[in-house]
Chains A and B, each alone.
Chain A
Amino acid sequence: MAEQIVFSIVAVVTLVSAFIVVTDRNLFHAAVALMLSFLGVAGFYVMLNAGFLAAAQLLVYIGAISILIIFAIMMTRRIMTTNESPVNSQWVGALIASVLLFVLVAGAVWTVWGPTGTVFTSPNVLAPPGPAQGVPDEVVANSVVELGRLFVSADGYVLPFELVSVLLLAALVGAIVVARTEREQ
C-alpha cells in the first residue's frame, strides 16, 4: 500500500515534469523540469532497490548532463528574452517516431510482464506470480559488489563495458581536439 502511494507520487512528478519539458516556452524552465523528471526516474530506481543506479542517475543526469544542457542553452541563445513556441514544423515526424517507440516499449513490456508474459510462464523465474515478495536484504546489500563483478567478469558484461569505456575515451579525446586552439607554426 505504502509502496503504491510512493510510486504514484513519483510517477506523477516524472510524467508531469516531462510534459512541461516539451510544452514550456521558457527554455530554462524546460531544463529545470527535465531535471525534476530525471529525479523522478532516480526515485523509480530507489523503489526497485537499485541504489547504485539511482545515485549514478543523480550524478550523471542531474549533476552533469542537465548542467551541460543549461550551459549550452545559455551560450547559444538570448535566453533572458526567449519566449519561443515549443512547436515547430517537425512535429509530424516526431509524433510518428514517438508512437512507434511507444508501441515498441509497450510490446516489450507486454510480452515479458503481461498476463501471459515470460516472467510468469518460464521455469527459471526470479519472482513467482502473485503479490510481490520483496527482495531479500542480503541480495540488496551485496548488489554493488555483484554489479562490479558482472562488469569485469568474462562471462558477464566485460566486452560491452570495455567498448563503452573506449567510446567515452574517444569522445574525450575528440572534445579536446575540437576545443584546442590551433598553434601557429
Chain B
Amino acid sequence: MTFLEALRDLNFAPFIRQALGGGLWVEILIDVLGVVVVSTFCLLIVIFLIWLERKVLARMQDRIGPNRVGPFGLLQTIADVIKLLVKEPFTPAGADRLVYNIAPLLIVIAALLMWAVIPFSPSLIGTDLNIGVFYILAVSSASVVCILFAGWGSNNKYALLGAFRSVSQLVSYEVPMVVALLIPILLARSMSTNDIIIAQAVPYLLVVPVSAVIFFISALAETGRTPFDLLEAESEIVAGFHIEYSGMKFGMFFLAEFLGTLLMSALMVVIYLGGWNLPLLSLALSWIGVNFDLAALPGGSWLGLLVFFVKLFLVYFVFIWIRGTLPRVRVDQILAFNWKFLVPVSLAALLLVAVLDKLIPAGAGPVARGGIHLISNLLLGFAALELLRRRGREERLAQTGEPAEPELVELAVDHHH
C-alpha cells in the first residue's frame, strides 16, 4: 500500500504498519498518532466555531460581528486566545488549590474523550466500540463531576450555587436523552456509531422524529445553551460555576462548552441524519436500479468526510439559530418541562417503537417499515403537543383568572407589524 493509496482511502494505519513493520511499539505509535490528530483537530476547529457563532449571531441581531483582525475577522479568536494565554494564572484566596486547578483540565479531557467514537468518514474513526453511544453517555455523565469540582473548589457561594443548579439540570436532562437514544439503538440493533450509520436505509430523523426532537432538546440543555442557559444567569448567580475562573482556566470551560455543542451536533448527524452516508440518495438510486455504496467508491472516504461536515455544520447552525432567537426560561420551568413532559413522552415513544417494530412483519422493506414508524411517531407527537397546549391554557387561566385567547394575541401582534 503506497502513501497515495493511504491518502485516497484516509486509512493510514496499514501504511504505517507496512512501512515500519508490525509490533507492539508500532501499534502504540498508531494509537498515539490517532489521539493526537483527533484532539488537535477538535481543539483547532473550536477557534473557527467561536468566530462562526459570533458572526452568525451578529447577523441575526443586525450587527456585523468581528471584522477587524484578519479577513472577515477570522483571526479574532486567535487574538483572543493569545490574550487569554498571557493573562496571569490566578487562584483565589481560600480556594481548594488542587480541585480548583484540576477542574478545567478534566472538563476538556472529558470533552475530547467523547470524540473517540465519532465516525468522520467510512474509514476515519478513532475506535469503533460496540458500545459507542453508551460510551459517550457515560463519559458525558461523568464529566458533570468537573462542574461540582469547579463550583466547590472556588470557595464562592455563587459558584457553588451555580454548580448545584448546573448539575441538577445536566443530571435531569440525561434521562430523556438516554431514553430517546435508545430508540435508534433499538432500530439499528447496535450501539456502535458506525453500525447505526450503516443501518439507516432511511435517516432516523424521518423514521422516529419524536426521538430526534427530544434528543435535540436535551442536547440543548446538556450543553447549557439558550433557552436552557441558566448555568450563567447574570441576574441571579452571576456567571455560574466558573465565576472565579479567569485567563486560560476560564478559556478551558469555554472550550469544553463549544466542544460539547459540536459533539452533540455530530451525534445528531451520526444517529439521526445518516452520518457520512447519503441514505436517501442510495434509496432513490436503488429504485432506478443503480447500486450506490458511498463507502465502496474510490475516494469515497473523502466524499464521506465532506458529507459529514456539511451535515455537521447544518446542525450546528440550528444550534446558533436557536441561541439567537429564543429567550431564557426559568429554573422551575426547566425542571418541570423535563420531568413532566420530556421523560413521559420519550418513554411512550420508546414503548411505541419497540412494540411496533416487533409487529411489523420481517419481510417489510426499509421504506414501508420507516413509513409505519413515521406515522405512529407523528401521531404521538401531535398528541403530546395537544397535551402541552391544554396545560399551557390551564396555567394561563390560573394566572390571569380569565380564559386567555392566544390566537387573538397573535393576531394583534401581526397587525401591529
Contacts and interface: CB of A to CB of B under 8 A. Distances in A.
Nearest to B140: A63
A59 B24 CA distance: 31
B155 interface: yes
B27 to A, nearest CB: 9
A59 B138 contact: yes
Contact of B129 (A32, A51, A56, A74): A51
Interface of B is mostly: helix
Given A2-B24, A28-B152, A63 B145 contact: yes
A10 interface: no
Given A32-B149, A70-B148, A80-B155, A143 B130 contact: yes
B96 interface: yes
A62 B110 CA distance: 13
A67 B99 CA distance: 15
Interface of A is mostly: helix
Given A67-B171, A144-B191, A55 B135 contact: yes
Interface of A: 2, 28-29, 32, 35, 51-52, 55-56, 58-59, 62-64, 66-67, 70-71, 74, 79-80, 140-144
Contact of A51 (B130, B142, B164): B130
B138 A56 contact: yes
Contacts of B24: 2
Contacts of A55: 131, 134-135, 137-138
Interface of B: 24, 96, 98-99, 129-131, 134-135, 137-139, 141-142, 144-145, 148-149, 152, 155, 160, 164, 167, 171, 174, 191
22 contacts: A29-B98, A29-B99, A32-B99, A51-B135, A52-B134, A55-B131, A55-B135, A58-B138, A58-B139, A59-B141, A62-B142, A62-B145, A63-B141, A63-B144, A63-B145, A67-B167, A71-B167, A74-B152, A79-B152, A142-B130, A144-B131, A144-B191
A51 B138 CA distance: 11
Given A58-B142, A59-B134, A67-B145, 7 more contacts: A28-B99, A58-B139, A59-B138, A62-B142, A63-B171, A63-B174, A142-B130
Given A64-B171, A143-B130, A144-B130, A58 B141 contact: yes
A64 B160 CA distance: 18
A67 to B, nearest CB: 6
Nearest to B129: A51
A30 B139 CA distance: 21
B288 to A, nearest CB: 36
A70 B152 CA distance: 10
B141 A64 contact: yes
